Amino acid sequence: MSTPEHEKYSEDLGAYLLGALPEIEAAALERHAMSCELCQEELDRLRPAADALPHSVEQYEPPSSLKRSLMEAVEEDVRAAEGASARTRPARRRLSLLPRFVLERPAFAAAGAAALLVLGGLAGFGVDRATRGGGGGSRTVAAAVDRRALPRGAAQLDVAHNGRATLRVRGLPVLRGGRVYEVWLESGGAVRPAGALFGVMRDGSGAAAIPADLHAVDRVLVTRERAGGTARPTEPPVISVRT
Protein backbone atom coordinates (compact mmCIF):
# COMPACT_ATOMS: atom_id res chain seq x y z
CA MET A 1 0.00 0.00 0.00
CA SER A 2 1.25 3.46 -0.88
CA THR A 3 2.01 5.78 2.03
CA PRO A 4 2.87 9.50 2.15
CA GLU A 5 6.41 8.48 3.02
CA HIS A 6 6.58 6.19 0.01
CA GLU A 7 5.21 8.96 -2.24
CA LYS A 8 7.94 11.28 -0.97
CA TYR A 9 10.77 8.83 -1.62
CA SER A 10 9.40 7.40 -4.85
CA GLU A 11 10.06 10.76 -6.54
CA ASP A 12 13.74 10.32 -5.76
CA LEU A 13 14.22 6.78 -7.08
CA GLY A 14 15.45 7.84 -10.53
CA ALA A 15 17.88 10.38 -9.08
CA TYR A 16 19.10 7.76 -6.60
CA LEU A 17 19.86 5.19 -9.30
CA LEU A 18 21.73 7.83 -11.31
CA GLY A 19 23.86 8.82 -8.29
CA ALA A 20 22.28 12.30 -8.31
CA LEU A 21 21.21 12.38 -4.68
CA PRO A 22 23.53 13.92 -2.11
CA GLU A 23 24.96 11.28 0.23
CA ILE A 24 22.59 12.04 3.10
CA GLU A 25 19.47 11.90 0.94
CA ALA A 26 20.68 8.67 -0.65
CA ALA A 27 21.22 7.12 2.79
CA ALA A 28 17.73 8.23 3.89
CA LEU A 29 16.20 6.67 0.80
CA GLU A 30 18.13 3.43 1.39
CA ARG A 31 16.83 3.30 4.96
CA HIS A 32 13.28 3.83 3.76
CA ALA A 33 13.62 1.26 0.96
CA MET A 34 14.72 -1.40 3.46
CA SER A 35 11.17 -1.49 4.77
CA CYS A 36 9.21 -0.39 1.69
CA GLU A 37 8.39 -3.15 -0.74
CA LEU A 38 7.01 -0.72 -3.32
CA CYS A 39 10.29 1.18 -3.46
CA GLN A 40 12.29 -2.04 -3.63
CA GLU A 41 10.18 -3.22 -6.55
CA GLU A 42 10.57 0.11 -8.32
CA LEU A 43 14.32 0.07 -7.78
CA ASP A 44 14.57 -3.48 -9.11
CA ARG A 45 12.49 -2.54 -12.13
CA LEU A 46 14.45 0.61 -13.03
CA ARG A 47 17.94 -0.57 -12.08
CA PRO A 48 18.66 -2.37 -15.38
CA ALA A 49 18.18 0.94 -17.23
CA ALA A 50 20.71 2.68 -14.96
CA ASP A 51 23.03 -0.33 -15.20
CA ALA A 52 22.94 -0.05 -18.99
CA LEU A 53 24.38 3.47 -18.98
CA PRO A 54 28.07 2.61 -18.42
CA HIS A 55 27.79 0.14 -21.28
CA SER A 56 26.99 3.02 -23.65
CA VAL A 57 30.41 4.66 -23.64
CA GLU A 58 33.05 4.54 -26.38
CA GLN A 59 35.62 1.89 -25.51
CA TYR A 60 39.21 2.98 -24.97
CA GLU A 61 42.31 0.97 -24.25
CA PRO A 62 43.62 1.70 -20.73
CA PRO A 63 47.32 2.66 -20.56
CA SER A 64 49.48 -0.37 -19.80
CA SER A 65 50.98 1.56 -16.87
CA LEU A 66 47.60 1.28 -15.12
CA LYS A 67 47.72 -2.51 -14.89
CA ARG A 68 51.39 -2.40 -13.95
CA SER A 69 50.88 -0.07 -11.00
CA LEU A 70 47.70 -1.83 -9.91
CA MET A 71 49.34 -5.24 -9.83
CA GLU A 72 52.41 -3.83 -8.08
CA ALA A 73 50.15 -2.58 -5.31
CA VAL A 74 48.38 -5.94 -5.17
CA GLU A 75 51.65 -7.91 -5.01
CA GLU A 76 52.88 -5.57 -2.30
CA ASP A 77 49.72 -6.24 -0.29
CA VAL A 78 50.24 -9.99 -0.71
CA ARG A 79 53.87 -9.73 0.47
CA ALA A 80 52.90 -7.48 3.40
CA ALA A 81 50.12 -9.85 4.46
CA GLU A 82 52.45 -12.86 4.31
CA GLY A 83 55.17 -11.03 6.24
CA ALA A 84 52.76 -9.64 8.82
CA SER A 85 51.17 -13.00 9.32
CA ALA A 86 54.56 -14.58 10.06
CA ARG A 87 55.64 -11.69 12.35
CA THR A 88 52.49 -11.30 14.37
CA ARG A 89 51.36 -14.83 15.07
CA PRO A 90 52.92 -15.05 18.56
CA ALA A 91 51.95 -11.48 19.41
CA ARG A 92 48.36 -12.12 18.45
CA ARG A 93 48.19 -14.99 20.89
CA ARG A 94 49.41 -12.71 23.68
CA LEU A 95 47.14 -9.82 22.81
CA SER A 96 44.20 -11.59 21.33
CA LEU A 97 41.77 -8.83 22.28
CA LEU A 98 43.47 -6.36 19.97
CA PRO A 99 42.39 -5.80 16.41
CA ARG A 100 44.96 -6.95 13.87
CA PHE A 101 45.82 -3.48 12.62
CA VAL A 102 47.13 -2.65 16.08
CA LEU A 103 49.42 -5.66 15.92
CA GLU A 104 50.56 -5.22 12.35
CA ARG A 105 51.42 -1.55 12.42
CA PRO A 106 54.31 -0.62 14.69
CA ALA A 107 53.53 3.10 14.40
CA PHE A 108 49.95 2.45 15.26
CA ALA A 109 50.88 0.28 18.22
CA ALA A 110 53.23 2.99 19.41
CA ALA A 111 50.32 5.39 19.54
CA GLY A 112 50.03 4.18 23.09
CA ALA A 113 48.71 1.68 25.53
CA ALA A 114 46.02 4.21 26.45
CA ALA A 115 44.35 3.64 23.13
CA LEU A 116 44.34 -0.09 23.79
CA LEU A 117 42.69 0.40 27.16
CA VAL A 118 40.04 2.51 25.53
CA LEU A 119 39.33 -0.26 23.08
CA GLY A 120 39.36 -3.00 25.65
CA GLY A 121 37.27 -1.47 28.37
CA LEU A 122 35.42 1.29 26.57
CA ALA A 123 36.95 3.73 29.05
CA GLY A 124 36.50 7.20 27.65
CA PHE A 125 33.83 6.04 25.26
CA GLY A 126 30.29 7.26 25.43
CA VAL A 127 27.86 4.62 24.34
CA ASP A 128 24.96 5.93 22.34
CA ARG A 129 22.22 3.49 23.25
CA ALA A 130 19.89 3.12 20.35
CA THR A 131 17.03 0.70 20.01
CA ARG A 132 17.84 -2.87 19.15
CA GLY A 133 15.45 -4.79 17.04
CA GLY A 134 13.02 -3.64 14.42
CA GLY A 135 10.47 -4.83 11.95
CA GLY A 136 11.18 -7.37 9.23
CA GLY A 137 14.45 -8.62 10.77
CA SER A 138 16.15 -5.23 10.52
CA ARG A 139 17.87 -3.80 13.60
CA THR A 140 19.63 -0.74 14.91
CA VAL A 141 22.82 -1.16 16.88
CA ALA A 142 24.31 1.39 19.26
CA ALA A 143 27.84 2.68 18.64
CA ALA A 144 30.62 3.38 21.13
CA VAL A 145 32.10 6.80 20.46
CA ASP A 146 35.51 8.05 21.61
CA ARG A 147 34.48 11.04 23.70
CA ARG A 148 37.96 12.55 23.65
CA ALA A 149 38.07 12.71 19.86
CA LEU A 150 34.34 13.31 19.30
CA PRO A 151 32.98 15.00 22.45
CA ARG A 152 29.48 15.53 21.03
CA GLY A 153 29.45 12.59 18.66
CA ALA A 154 26.85 9.84 18.47
CA ALA A 155 26.38 7.04 15.98
CA GLN A 156 24.28 4.02 15.20
CA LEU A 157 24.29 1.25 12.64
CA ASP A 158 21.07 0.32 10.84
CA VAL A 159 21.33 -3.26 9.60
CA ALA A 160 18.71 -4.60 7.19
CA HIS A 161 17.59 -8.24 7.18
CA ASN A 162 19.76 -8.87 4.09
CA GLY A 163 22.93 -7.77 5.93
CA ARG A 164 23.17 -4.37 4.24
CA ALA A 165 23.89 -1.57 6.66
CA THR A 166 24.03 2.20 6.95
CA LEU A 167 26.09 3.98 9.57
CA ARG A 168 24.45 7.19 10.77
CA VAL A 169 26.31 9.80 12.77
CA ARG A 170 25.57 13.12 14.41
CA GLY A 171 27.55 15.70 16.33
CA LEU A 172 30.82 14.91 14.52
CA PRO A 173 33.31 17.65 13.68
CA VAL A 174 33.66 18.65 10.03
CA LEU A 175 37.15 17.48 9.05
CA ARG A 176 39.50 20.03 7.51
CA GLY A 177 42.35 19.69 5.04
CA GLY A 178 40.50 17.26 2.76
CA ARG A 179 40.36 14.55 5.43
CA VAL A 180 37.46 12.11 5.56
CA TYR A 181 35.91 9.58 7.91
CA GLU A 182 36.71 6.04 6.75
CA VAL A 183 34.73 2.93 7.68
CA TRP A 184 36.47 -0.38 8.50
CA LEU A 185 35.23 -3.90 9.05
CA GLU A 186 36.79 -6.12 11.69
CA SER A 187 36.45 -9.90 11.42
CA GLY A 188 38.33 -12.32 13.63
CA GLY A 189 40.74 -9.58 14.71
CA ALA A 190 41.60 -8.56 11.12
CA VAL A 191 40.60 -5.13 9.89
CA ARG A 192 39.84 -4.26 6.27
CA PRO A 193 38.42 -1.18 4.54
CA ALA A 194 34.65 -1.25 4.13
CA GLY A 195 34.94 0.73 0.90
CA ALA A 196 32.98 3.59 2.49
CA LEU A 197 34.25 7.12 3.11
CA PHE A 198 32.05 9.92 4.36
CA GLY A 199 32.00 13.54 5.42
CA VAL A 200 29.50 15.33 7.62
CA MET A 201 27.25 18.31 7.12
CA ARG A 202 27.83 21.58 8.96
CA ASP A 203 25.52 20.35 11.75
CA GLY A 204 27.75 17.30 12.22
CA SER A 205 25.32 14.77 10.77
CA GLY A 206 26.22 12.27 8.10
CA ALA A 207 25.66 8.74 6.86
CA ALA A 208 27.58 6.04 5.04
CA ALA A 209 26.08 3.06 3.25
CA ILE A 210 28.36 0.07 3.79
CA PRO A 211 28.79 -1.89 0.55
CA ALA A 212 29.41 -5.24 2.21
CA ASP A 213 27.55 -8.08 3.84
CA LEU A 214 27.96 -7.79 7.63
CA HIS A 215 27.08 -11.36 8.50
CA ALA A 216 30.69 -12.35 9.18
CA VAL A 217 31.79 -8.99 10.60
CA ASP A 218 32.48 -8.53 14.33
CA ARG A 219 32.76 -4.76 14.45
CA VAL A 220 32.33 -1.72 12.23
CA LEU A 221 34.95 0.93 12.99
CA VAL A 222 35.57 4.51 11.88
CA THR A 223 38.84 6.45 11.74
CA ARG A 224 39.81 9.85 10.32
CA GLU A 225 41.98 9.51 7.22
CA ARG A 226 43.35 11.48 4.29
CA ALA A 227 41.13 12.15 1.26
CA GLY A 228 40.59 9.02 -0.80
CA GLY A 229 41.05 6.80 2.25
CA THR A 230 43.93 4.52 3.20
CA ALA A 231 44.59 0.80 2.98
CA ARG A 232 45.03 0.52 6.74
CA PRO A 233 43.86 2.66 9.66
CA THR A 234 46.34 5.31 10.80
CA GLU A 235 44.72 5.96 14.19
CA PRO A 236 42.66 4.12 16.78
CA PRO A 237 38.97 4.01 15.90
CA VAL A 238 36.85 6.96 16.98
CA ILE A 239 33.61 5.03 16.48
CA SER A 240 33.08 1.34 17.11
CA VAL A 241 29.95 -0.76 16.63
CA ARG A 242 29.68 -4.40 17.63
CA THR A 243 27.53 -6.11 15.03
Partner 1 sequence: MDLVAAGDARAFEAVYDRHGGAAFSVAYRMVGNTSIAEDIVQEAFLSIWRSRLRYRRERGSVRTWVLGIVHHRGIDALRRNLVHDRRRVSAEGIEERQEAPERTDVEAARRDEARSVRRALDKLPDGQGQVIELAYFGGFTHTQIAEMLGMPVGTVKGRMRLGLEKLRRTLGPEVAW
Q: Which of 1, 2, 61, 113 binds partner 1 (CB under 8 A)?
A: 61
Q: At its nearest, how many Å lie between partner 1 and the CB of residue 76? A: 10
Residue 2 touches partner 1, criterion: CB under 8 A: no
Q: Does 58 bind partner 1 (CB under 8 A)?
A: yes
CB 190 within 8 A of CB 100: yes
Shorter beta-carbon distance to partner 1: residue 103 or 197? 197
Which residue of 1, 2, 57, 86 would you call a contact of partner 1, by CB under 8 A?
57
At 141, phi and psi to the nearest 5? -115, 135
Of positions 4, 54, 106, 133, contacts partner 1 by CB under 8 A: 54
Alpha-carbon distance values, 121 to 11, 111, 126, 143, 202 (Å): 46, 17, 12, 14, 32
Can you tell me the distance from the alpha carbon of 13 to that of 31, in angstroms, rounded to the nearest whole number?
13
Q: Which DSSP helix (H) or strand (E) runs through 81?
A: helix 64-94
Regarding 197 and contact with partner 1 (CB under 8 A), the answer is yes
**Which neighbouring-strand residues pair with 222?**
183, 239
Closest CB 158 distance from partner 1, rounded Å: 19
* Burial (0-12, 13-18, 19+ Cβ within 10 Å), 182: buried
- Cβ burial 47-82 (10 Å sphere, 16+ → b, else e): eeeeeeeeeeeeeeeeeeeeeeeeeeeeeeeeeeee
Sites for partner 1 among residues 166-195 (CB under 8 A): 178, 185, 192-195
Among 3, 5, 20, 129, binds partner 1 (CB under 8 A): 20
Tell me, residue by residue from 76 to 115, as one string, x for binding to partner 1 by CB under 8 A and - for no binding. -xx--x----------------------------------
Q: Which residues form the interface with partner 1 (CB under 8 A)?
A: 11-15, 17-22, 45-63, 65-67, 69-71, 73-75, 77-78, 81, 178, 185, 192-195, 197, 211-213, 227-228, 231
